[in-house]
């Protein structure tokens, strides 16, 4: 390096310093420039849940559970906003917040230990995403053996795992945002367009079909898949948790700065909270429209043919949505899109989960989370180790849909704990000036009741207590 060159200092996204503060944007157009965490979140939501579980639900239940798609997306977003609000104001991660909820067990709170246990179940779902990606690649390009042959699936599983590890090895947020934003935009737009085009095909749906899906009933035989859909689609408990890390790494908390008690800091906080809320709104709209599109397409095209995706055939079956509607040529379009959206979901997980486990080691006292060099080292270790574990889990079980359902049920259970944490944090650690208004509080209360009811329902099903078939 020459004497005239200056090395750009590496800024720690998790450290709040007065010199990093930034005046928040004031207009809608300016705020749009600072969006990003929501796109990463959308990538983790759109894919495994929408492409596989929601389409399967539409194929099995027809339009009857359309209401659950809407409800599942609507009730969770308010919890996400409240958790992110606390993060931006305090500059701490969700896992650190969970540790503040008593009772504590050792150095961590009970929710932290619950997260560790349920994340093991979530690993099944992550294995399912790798499996879905590998299956789509195997169908499109069976480079070793025939379509979905053991050799082909193993080969593609290895390729998908290696590529994702290499992409995320830098542990840089900007890389995650660029990859996920592009892939979600491509596949989401094509899926919404397909759903809107169905009325002009032999698989048309009517206003009456849509109306029948708003009757708030669960058909017999669809309970398990409905629970999996509620856990997998929309913003799940793990997505809410991950979102706080993306808000921090984007810079919302860093630009707000440490709480020095001044009115200037309060104005900055209010401004960056508005950016976060817009970010959440945009991602919620995209997730909801995409989820509805997948469900409607599954109900319109697959349900009449009684074609319910199962096992590794899930990608082949879902591809019929495209081939039956647009012709055989569309299978290529679908497979490319499927690989894109599933791989982006996998990449989002490869980026997020190592951060959570590294943070957990810090909360345990094993490492110093606030030491940037130490944190980066462990991020890279987990970025290599965890995807390998997920790949092995997929190859052992060999059923993407089953893996997704196992992880989704665990996610629904964890929602209860997140609700407890959110109410505790917003009550004890959020200044009254920044708390949501009374109508938002009322909506959050309704969301809490709905999430609690469905989570308890999930628990009863897990333990074999049948409630309404």
Mean pLDDT of 156-160: 93
Residue 439 lies in a domain: yes
Tell me if residue 108 falls in helix, strand or coil.
Answer: strand
Among the listed residues 50, 115, 300, 331, the one whose alpha carbon sits nearest the alpha carbon of residue 195 = 300
Residue 38 lies in a domain: yes
Residue 7 lies in a domain: no
Give the confidence band of 355 by pLDDT, cuts at 50, 70, 90. very high
Tell me if residue 172 falls in helix, strand or coil.
Answer: coil
Answer whether residue 432 shows pLDDT above 80: yes
Residue 211 is predicted with a pLDDT of 85
Residues near 51 by Cβ (< 8 Å), separated by ≥ 6? 132, 294, 318, 338, 341, 342
Instruction: Centre a 10 Å sphere on the Cβ of residue 290 and count the other Cβ atoms it contains.
Output: 28
d(CA 236, CA 455): 12
Higher pLDDT, 398 or 307: 307
Residue 6 is predicted with a pLDDT of 40
Residue 47 is predicted with a pLDDT of 64
Residue 317 lies in a domain: yes
Mean pLDDT for the chain overall: 83
Answer whether residue 166 shows pLDDT above 70: yes
Provide the domain count of the chain: 1
Residue 206 lies in a domain: yes
Answer whether residue 467 shows pLDDT above 70: no
d(CA 464, CA 147): 37
Residue 9 lies in a domain: no
Residue 448 is predicted with a pLDDT of 87
The 10s digit of each residue's pLDDT in 185-195 is 877 777 788 78
Answer yes or no: are the C-beta atoms of 293 and 69 closer than 8 Å.
no
Q: What is the CATH number of the domain that holds 63?
A: 1.20.1740.10
Whole-structure pTM value: 0.87
Residue 140 lies in a domain: yes
Residue 143 is predicted with a pLDDT of 81
Least confident range from 107-116, 203-212, 351-360: namely 203-212
Tell me if residue 104 falls in helix, strand or coil.
Answer: strand
Residues near 328 by Cβ (< 8 Å), separated by ≥ 6? none
Answer whether residue 311 shows pLDDT above 60: no
- Residue 361 belongs to domain spanning: 21-462
Residue 351 is predicted with a pLDDT of 93
The 10s digit of each residue's pLDDT in 100-134 is 999 999 999 999 998 998 887 778 778 888 888 88
Higher pLDDT, 180 or 113: 113
d(CA 171, CA 176): 8
Residue 8 lies in a domain: no
Cis peptide bond N-terminal to 388, omega within 30: no
The 10s digit of each residue's pLDDT in 232-275 is 567 878 889 999 999 999 999 999 999 998 999 999 999 999 99
Higher pLDDT, 285 or 217: 285
Mean pLDDT of 414-428: 91
d(CA 154, CA 454): 37
Residue 374 is predicted with a pLDDT of 96
Higher pLDDT, 52 or 347: 347
d(CA 425, CA 111): 13
For residue 109, what is the enclosing H or E element?
Answer: strand 108-109
Q: DSSP alpha helices (H): ranges in 198-329? A: 207-212, 223-232, 237-250, 252-256, 263-297, 314-326
Residue 111's Cβ-count burial label (10 Å; 0-12, 13-18, 19+) is: buried
């Amino acid at each position: 390096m020459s004497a005239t060159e200056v090395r750009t200092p590496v800024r720690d996204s998790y450290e709040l310093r007065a010199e990093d503060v930034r005046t928040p944007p004031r207009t809608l157009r300016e705020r749009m420039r600072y969006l990003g965490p929501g796109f990463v979140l959308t990538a983790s939501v759109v894919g495994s849940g929408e492409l596989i579980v929601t389409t399967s639900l539409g194929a099995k239940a027809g339009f009857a559970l359309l209401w659950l798609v809407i409800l599942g997306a609507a009730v969770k977003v308010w919890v996400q906003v409240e958790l992110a609000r606390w993060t931006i104001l305090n500059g701490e991660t969700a896992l650190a917040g969970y540790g503040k909820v008593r009772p504590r067990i050792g150095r961590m709170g009970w929710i932290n230990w619950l997260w560790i246990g349920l994340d093991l179940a979530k690993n099944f779902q992550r294995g399912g995403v790798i499996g879905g990606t590998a299956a789509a690649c195997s169908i499109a390009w069976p480079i070793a053996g025939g379509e979905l042959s053991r050799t082909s699936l193993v080969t593609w599983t290895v390729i998908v795992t290696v590529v994702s590890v290499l992409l995320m090895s830098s542990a840089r947020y900007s890389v995650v945002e660029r990859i996920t934003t592009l892939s979600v935009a491509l596949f989401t737009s094509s899926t919404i367009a397909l759903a809107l085009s169905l009325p002009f095909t032999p698989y048309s749906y009517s206003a009456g079909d849509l109306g029948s899906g708003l009757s708030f009933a669960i058909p017999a035989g669809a309970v398990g898949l409905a629970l999996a859909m509620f856990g997998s689609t929309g913003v799940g408990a793990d997505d809410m948790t991950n979102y706080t890390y993306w808000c921090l790494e984007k810079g919302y908390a860093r630009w707000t700065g440490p709480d020095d008690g001044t009115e200037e800091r309060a104005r900055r906080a209010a401004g960056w909270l508005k950016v976060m809320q817009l970010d959440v709104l945009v991602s919620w709209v995209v997730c909801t429209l995409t989820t509805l599109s997948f469900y409607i397409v599954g109900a319109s095209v697959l349900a009449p043919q009684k074609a319910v995706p199962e096992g590794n055939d899930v990608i082949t079956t879902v591809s019929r949505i495209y081939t039956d509607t647009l012709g055989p040529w569309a299978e290529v379009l679908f497979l490319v899109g499927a690989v894109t959206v599933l791989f982006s979901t996998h990449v989002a997980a490869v980026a997020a989960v190592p951060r959570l486990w590294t943070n957990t080691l810090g909360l345990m006292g094993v490492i110093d989370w606030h030491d940037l060099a130490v944190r980066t080292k462990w991020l890279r270790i987990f970025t290599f180790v965890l995807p390998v574990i997920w790949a092995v889990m997929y190859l052992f079980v060999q059923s993407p849909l089953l893996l997704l359902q196992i992880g989704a049920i665990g996610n629904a259970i964890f929602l209860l704990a997140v609700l407890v944490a959110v109410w505790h944090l917003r009550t004890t650690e959020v200044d009254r000036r920044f708390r949501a208004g009374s109508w938002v509080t009322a909506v959050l209360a309704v969301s809490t009741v709905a999430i609690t009811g469905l989570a308890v329902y999930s628990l009863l099903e897990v333990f074999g207590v049948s409630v309404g078939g």
